[in-house]
Structure 1
Amino acid sequence: MEAREVLVSHNLKSTTCRNEVLNLLLNSSQALAQSEIEKQVDHSHDRVTVYRTLKTFLDKGLVHKVLDDEGGTKYALCNECAEDHHNHEHVHFKCENCGQTLCLDKIAIPAIELPQGYNISEKNLLIQGTCKDCS
């Protein structure tokens, strides 16, 4: 699916920045940090515009956040999300060799029972090791 079609299907206006950022994510096999995205888009888009684009994509269920081992945030496309429901409780994997952070969509985060009075708002599970390309 092309970026414009995806934007239209999520009721978003097609802008140059949105198209460029979405194309990067559509063509990437790994999660990308905002700084990585900024380096690859047209330099006429400033940091704030890229940030707002990513925030809009998060709000509309197009992308989800991936936390890496250094406390940074990366972004990856959602497969089964919508504006009112994010379903991305899957494992993320960071390769210690090449540095890529990948979504392992088919591996769900195990159920976790917290003590009474605690409520889960978000779950993240990052596994580190060597990816299949580096093994």
Structure 2
Amino acid sequence: MPEDLEIRLKSRGIRPTAMRLLVLEKLTEQQTAVSLSEMEAGFEQVDRVTLYRTLKTFEEKGLVHQIIDGAGLTKYALCQEDCTCAMEDLHVHFYCNSCKETYCLPKVKVPGIQLPHRFRLEEINMVVKGICDQCVT
């Protein structure tokens, strides 16, 4: 698996340092989006600034995307392998009001947005809130 992680980093133009490999490995283990604090808690010892810079590098290179879940937290999730982080790749995120987890829904695309004349779209963050399949009783 470490070789696969290294290839994945290199394919996005990211130099595979030990820290970057560890962070990518942690992200691949996640089923939901994670905050910086949650990532930090997953390591025995880690420098918070280095972790933050690693996530920002991953984001700049299109390896992860940032989700502002509407609950006051910024979370990160791995992009799909074929993601180009272009508008047509944008998907909906789901925030569970019960367990407080944020899920990527890559098959649910963000609908097209028509803006008024001379407005310029730069980013979209669509979060749907409700109860996830694990919390529904």
TM-score by length of 1: 0.89
Identity of aligned residues (%): 42
Deviation at 1:11, TM superposition (A): 2.9
2:111 is the alignment partner of 1:116: no
What residue in structure 1 maps to residue 59 of structure 2?
Answer: 58
Aligned residues: 132
What's the CA shift string for 1:27-81, capped at 9, x where partnerless?
11100101111111241x2111001100110111100111111232110011133
Q: Are the equivalent residues in 2 in contact too, given 1:18–1:53 (CA < 8 A)? A: yes
Question: What is the rounded CA distance, in whole Å, between the counterparts of 2:64 and 2:133 in structure 1?
Answer: 24
What residue in structure 2 maps to residue 34 of structure 1?
Answer: 36
- Structure 1 residue runs without a partner (length 5+): none
Q: Cα distance 1:96–1:35, how it changes in 2: closer, same or farther (>3 A)?
A: same
2:18 is the alignment partner of 1:16: yes
TM-score by length of 2: 0.88
Matched position secondary structure for 2:20: helix
2:110 partner letter: I
The within-5 A match list for 1:91-110 is 91-110=92-111
Deviation at 1:134, TM superposition (A): 1.1
The Cα RMSD (Å) is: 1.6
What's the CA shift string for 1:80-104, capped at 9, x where partnerless?
334xx44541100011111110000
Question: What is the rounded CA distance, in whole Å, between the counterparts of 1:107 and 1:50 in structure 2?
Answer: 30
Q: Are the equivalent residues in 2 in contact too, given 1:21–1:41 (CA < 8 A)? A: no
- Structure 2 residue runs without a partner (length 5+): none
